[in-house]
Amino acid sequence: MFGETTAQMSERSEQTSFLRSPSTSCATVLRCLCVFGLLLPSEWLPWIYSRAVQSTLIDDIFTLGHVLEALAIRQLVPPHSFASTYEGHTIHLPPLLLALFQPVSRLSESQQHTTVGLCLIVVDLLIAWTLERLGKFVVQQRKTEWEDKLQEQVPEAIQPKLSHIFEVTKESNAVVNSATIPLLMAQLYYWSPITLLTSNVFVCYQNIPVLFSLIGLINASQGSLIWGALSLVLASYINVHHALFVVPSVILIRERRKSVVVFLISFLSLASAMQALSLYLVGTSEFLLIAYASHIWTFQFQGIEPSLSTLWYFGMEMFDRFSMYFTVLMGGAPYLLVIPLWIRLYRYPEAMIALFWLLGTVFRPPATLYSLNVAFCLLLLSSKSLARLRVIPSLIAVSSFSIPVALYVVNTWLWLDTGSGEANFMFFQCLVYNAFVAIIFVQFVAACLRRDKALRLTEKLSYMGDVPEKSKQN
Amino acid sequence: MRRPFGVHVLVKVVMMKELTLLLKIFVHLLSLLVSSCAQHTSNHAVIVSSSRYWFNYRHNANALTIYQFLKENGFRDENIILMLADEYAVNPRNVFKNRILTTPEGPSLYDASTEVDYRGEDVTVSNLVHALTGHHTAGLPVLNTDEKSNILIYLTGHGGDQFFKFQDVEEIMTQHLSAVFQQMHAAKRYHEILFVADTCQAFTLGDAFISPNITVIGSSLRKESSYAHHADENLGLSVIERYTYAFHEFLRNKDNTNWGKMTLRQAMVDPFPFEQQRAHIGISDKLAVRKADQVVMSDFWVNKHIPSKRHTKDVVAYPIDYEMPRFSLEAYQRATGIDYRASEKQQKAKDDHANAQPTHSLIEGADPSDGVFLLLTVLLFGMAILAGFLL
C-alpha cells in the first residue's frame, strides 16, 4: 500500500467495490461482536452506556425501549387496541413502523437485542453500499461535460485552491478523486465508530429512513420513478424531513428526461396510501391525534430529551412567551431555505443532497453525531465544491466540533448523574456544537456558490470570447 | 401719610389669611408629629422575591432569610405577605431536596412552616399593588392594616434605575410605587413604612416617593450593582446577596440584639461599608417625621406582640428525616362514612356503558396481525413494486 502512486491507488479502488473489500468483512465481524456483547460490553466500558454519551448518538424514539414501552402502554390502557398505544402522548413512532416491530415483542430480551442488532448490520451494509452507488453515479457516471469543459477554461485567478486535495477535473491528480470517492463514502460510514455504536451497541434504528432516502435518490438517478417515489415516501413517513429529498430527486429525474409529474403524483399517491393504511390501523377517531404525535410533534418544544440539538437548547433557554416564535423559527427555517437553494444550485443536485441533510442536522431534533457522520459522507459527493472551501474556517469547524461534544458529555454527566455542575455549561456546549455545524453548512454553501459563480463567469467570458486559451493564461 | 380706608381693610384681611394659613400648617404638622409619636399597634411585612429561574436562587434565599428572621421575632403568617416567584426547594437542579440553604451546614430557610402567599405566576405587579392597597383578589391574601400599622416592605430581585423587575415580564416603576403609597396614605392604611430593596440600583426605587412617613433603604445607589455574597459548590450558583447576608449576620450576632435601642441607621446602614458591599447603602428619611437614627429596629423588625422564638407551636421545624404521614383512604372512609370510591364507581359504570355502546367511528382500527391489514399492505407494496418494473 505504501509507495503507491495516486493513479495506482485509483486503479486499485476501481477494481475493489465496497462489498468485496476485506475491510468490509472486518467491520462486519466487529459489528457482529458488538451485537453479541463480546466487544464493548457494559462491564468494561460503562461510561459508553451513560445517558450523556447515548444522548449524543441516538434518537430515543427509534430504540427498542420505545417500542417495548409502546407495547406496555397498549397492554395497560383499555380497550387495549392498537390506538391505545398512543394514549398519554408518550409514543411518537408512526403506526406502521410500530406495527413492523410488533413481532419482536414475542422474543426474549436478549433475542430482541440480537435480532434487531443483526438486522441493523444489514441496514448499515445497505446504506454503505447505496452510498457507494450514489457516489459512483454522481462522480463517475453522471454527465457533466458542460462543467468539465468550463472548468478547463476557468481563469487561473478563480481556480479552486484545494484542487490538489479534491478532484476538480479528471486530469488533476487529487488525493480524493472520482475513483476513490465512492469507496471512501461507504467506508466513512461503515467503519465509523459512531454508526457502529449507534446501530450495533445501542440498537437504534434511526438509520432506516436514511436507507430509504438513499435508495430513493439512487432510483431517481436511474430514472425509476415509482421505486424512487416509494422509497422517499417510506423515508418521509418515518421522518418528515426526508421529504426534502424530493427536490434533488426531481432534478435527477429531469436529467434523465423522465416525467417529473409522474414521479410527484406517485409520491403523493403512495404517501396518501401509507396514511390510509395508518388510518385503517388506528381508526378514524384517533387518527389525527396519532398523525400529529407521529409526524408533527417534533416541531414543538414538547417531550424533548437532552441532546445536542438546537431545538433542545432553545427549548430550555427560551422564555415561555417566546415559544411560538421559536417554534416557527426552528420549524420553518430549514424549509425556508429550500427554494433559494434550489434556485441557486439546481445544477448541482449532489450539493443539494448534502445541504438538505445538513439543514436537518442543524434544525431538526434530535441532532446526533450519527446525522453529522452521514452529512460528512454526503459532502464527499461534491468534491468540486469542497475544492473551493475556505481552509481556515472549515478546518476549524471540522476539527473542533468534537471538543464541545466531549464537554457536553462531561457536563451532562455532572449535571444529571452526579447532581452537581451547572446546567448552563451543558447548554453552552450544545450551542457551540451547533455553531460549528452551522459553520460547516455555511462554508459549504459558500463553496458551492463560488463554484457556480466561477463557472458562470467563465461561461459568460467564453460567450464574449474573452477567455484566452489555457496555455496563454498567466 | 394716611392710607386709604380700603387698603387698611385689605391689609387686615391679608394678614388674617396669612395667620389662618400659618395656623393650619402648624396644626397639620402638630398632628403629624402626634401621629408619628403615637405608638403603632401592629407590625406587618411584605416580602417579595420577583425572580424566576434557577440561577436566581439567591433572591429566593434573600426573601426567606428575612421571612425566617421576622418569624423568629414573633411575626405571624397573618401579618406577613410572602411572594416567591419560583420554587427552588423542589427544583430538579436542587441537590438539597426540599431545602433552601445558604450554607451547607445551616438550617433550611424553607420548611413545613413556610407559608408562601403568592407563588409562581401570582407574583405580579398588579397583585403586589392589590396586596398593599387591600383590594382582595380572588383567594389571595392582602394586608389588613390600619393607620396604626407599621409595614416593612422588602423587595429583592433584579432592578434598575427606578424600576424593579417582575419575572422578566414586567416592571414596577418608582412612580407606580409612589402612587400606591399615596393611595395607602389616603386610605389610612399605614403608620410608618420601612421600604427596603436589595437589587441593583435599589435606592432609586424611592426617588418618586412623596407620601409621609416612609423610610427608604437601598442596598445600592444609582449606577451601582448589588452583588452576591457567596456561592455553593454543590448547587453551583450564588446563594445569597451581600447586603441581606451581612444584615442577617449582624442581627444574629448576640452583641447586636438590643433592638429596642438600636436604630435603623445603626443596624441597617452603618455596619455595611462600601468596602464590604462594593456598593453604597442608601437611606432616605426625608419623608419621615422620625428619622432613621430615631426609629428603633423593634418598630419594624419585632412584632408588636410578645416576641417568640422560632420553634414555637406555630412554627414546626422540618427535620431532614421527616416523613410525610401517608393518607389512608380506608381510615378516611371509616371515620367519615363517605364512600370515597363512589365517583370512581360512577366513572367505571360510564366507561362500561360507553364501551358497550356501538362506536360511531367510520373505521374502528385494527391490529397489525389483522388479515385485512396485512393484505392491504402486501397489495400496496406489491403494486408499487410492479408499477416500478413497468414504468
Render A141-155 in DSSP notation, one character per residue.
IS--HHHHHHHHH--
Q: CB distance B365–A270 less than 8 Å?
A: no
Q: Which of A183-187, A358-362, B64-68, B213-217 has the lowest mean pLDDT?
A: A358-362
Q: CB distance B361–A225 less than 8 Å?
A: no
Query: Which of B52, B93, B94 is best to mutate for the A interface (most A CBs within 10 A)?
Result: B93
Kindly list the domain boundaries of chain B, sorted by start residue. Answer: 42-304
Sign for the pseudo-dihedral over CA of B262, B265, B266, B269: positive
Q: Which three cell numbers stand for residue B20?
A: 389662618
**B153 vs A151, which has greater pLDDT?**
B153
Q: CB distance B376–A277 less than 8 Å?
A: yes
What are B89-141's pLDDT values in tens digits?
A: 888 788 888 889 988 788 889 988 899 999 988 899 999 999 999 887 677 88
What residues contact residue B133 under an 8 Å CB cut-off, 6+ apart?
B142, B180, B183, B184, B187, B189
Confidence of residue A5 (pLDDT cuts 50, 70, 90): low
- What's the topology of domain B42-304? Rossmann fold (3.40.50)
Residue B170 in 3-state DSSP? strand
Q: CB distance B363–A415 less than 8 Å?
A: no
Residues of chain A numbered 120-179 and touching chain B (CB < 8 Å): none
Strand B237-241 versus strand B118-119 pairing type: unpaired
**A203 vs A365, which has greater pLDDT?**
A203
What's residue B240's pLDDT? 93
What value does the mean pLDDT of chain A take? Answer: 85
CB pairs under 8 A between A and B: 80
What's residue B25's pLDDT? 67
What's residue A4's pLDDT? 46
Residue B126 in 3-state DSSP? helix
* CA-based nearest distance A176→chain B, Å: 35
**Residue B356 contacts A, CB cutoff 8 Å:** no
**Residue B90 contacts A, CB cutoff 8 Å:** no
What's residue B314's pLDDT? 41
Strand B170-173 versus strand B163-166 pairing type: antiparallel
* CA-based nearest distance B366→chain A, Å: 5
Query: Which of A227, A265, A428 is best to mutate for the B interface (most B CBs within 10 A)?
Result: A227
**Residue B367 contacts A, CB cutoff 8 Å:** yes
Confidence of residue A154 (pLDDT cuts 50, 70, 90): confident
Chain A residues within an 8 Å CB radius of B233? 420
**Residue A471 contacts B, CB cutoff 8 Å:** no
What are A293-326's pLDDT values in tens digits?
A: 888 877 776 666 778 888 777 777 777 777 788 8
Chain B residues within an 8 Å CB radius of A270? 380, 384
What CA–CA distance (Å, rounded) separates B208 from B175? 5
Confidence of residue A49 (pLDDT cuts 50, 70, 90): confident
Active site residue B176: no
Which of A226, A273, A286 is opposite residue B391, by nearest beta carbon?
A: A226
Displacement of CA A198 from its chain's centroid (Å): 14
Q: Is the pLDDT of residue A195 over 50?
A: yes
Which of B169, B236, B380 is opposite residue A420, by nearest beta carbon?
A: B236
What's residue B50's pLDDT? 94
Active site residue B158: yes
Cα–Cα nearest to B164, from B150, B178, B149, B152: B178
Is residue B362 exposed (0-12), middle (13-18) or buried (19+ Cβ within 10 Å)?
exposed
* CA-based nearest distance A275→chain B, Å: 12
Residues of chain A numbered 418-447 and touching chain B (CB < 8 Å): 419-424
**A372 vs A142, which has greater pLDDT?**
A372
What are A454-470's pLDDT values in tens digits?
A: 999 988 888 877 555 55
Catalytic option among B40, B59, B200, B229: B200
Under a CB-based contact definition with an 8 Å cutoff, are residues B188 and B146 in contact? yes
Q: CB distance A415–B376 less than 8 Å?
A: no
Q: CB distance A282–B367 less than 8 Å?
A: no
What are B62-93's pLDDT values in tens digits?
A: 999 999 999 988 898 989 999 999 989 888 78
Cα–Cα nearest to B307, from B102, B109, B70: B70
Under a CB-based contact definition with an 8 Å cutoff, are residues B19 and B135 in contact? no
* CA-based nearest distance A79→chain B, Å: 8
Q: How confident is the model over A246-269, as a mean pLDDT?
A: 92
Chain B residues within an 8 Å CB radius of A427? none
Q: Which of A39-43, A414-418, B21-25, B165-169 has the lowest mean pLDDT?
A: B21-25
What residues contact residue B48 under an 8 Å CB cut-off, 6+ apart?
B63, B83, B123, B128, B153, B154, B155, B156, B157
What's residue B27's pLDDT? 59
Chain A residues within an 8 Å CB radius of B371? none
Kindly list the domain boundaries of chain A, sorted by start residue. Answer: 36-459
Query: Which of A226, A260, A263 is best to mutate for the B interface (most B CBs within 10 A)?
Result: A226
Chain A residues within an 8 Å CB radius of B364? 283
What are A101-124's pLDDT values in tens digits?
A: 888 888 888 888 899 999 999 999
What CA–CA distance (Å, rounded) separates B125 from B275? 34
What's residue A2's pLDDT? 41
**Residue A272 contacts B, CB cutoff 8 Å:** no
Residues, chain B: 391
What's residue B281's pLDDT? 93
Alpha-carbon distance values, A106 to A123, A204, A382, B218, B374 (Å): 22, 19, 45, 70, 18
Catalytic option among B44, B59, B158, B229: B158
Q: What are the residue ranges in chain B where pLDDT is below 70?
A: 1-11, 13-14, 17, 24-38, 137, 305-333, 335-345, 347, 350-351, 353-362
Give this prediction's pTM.
0.63
- Rounded to whole angstroms, the maximal C-alpha distance in chain A is 82
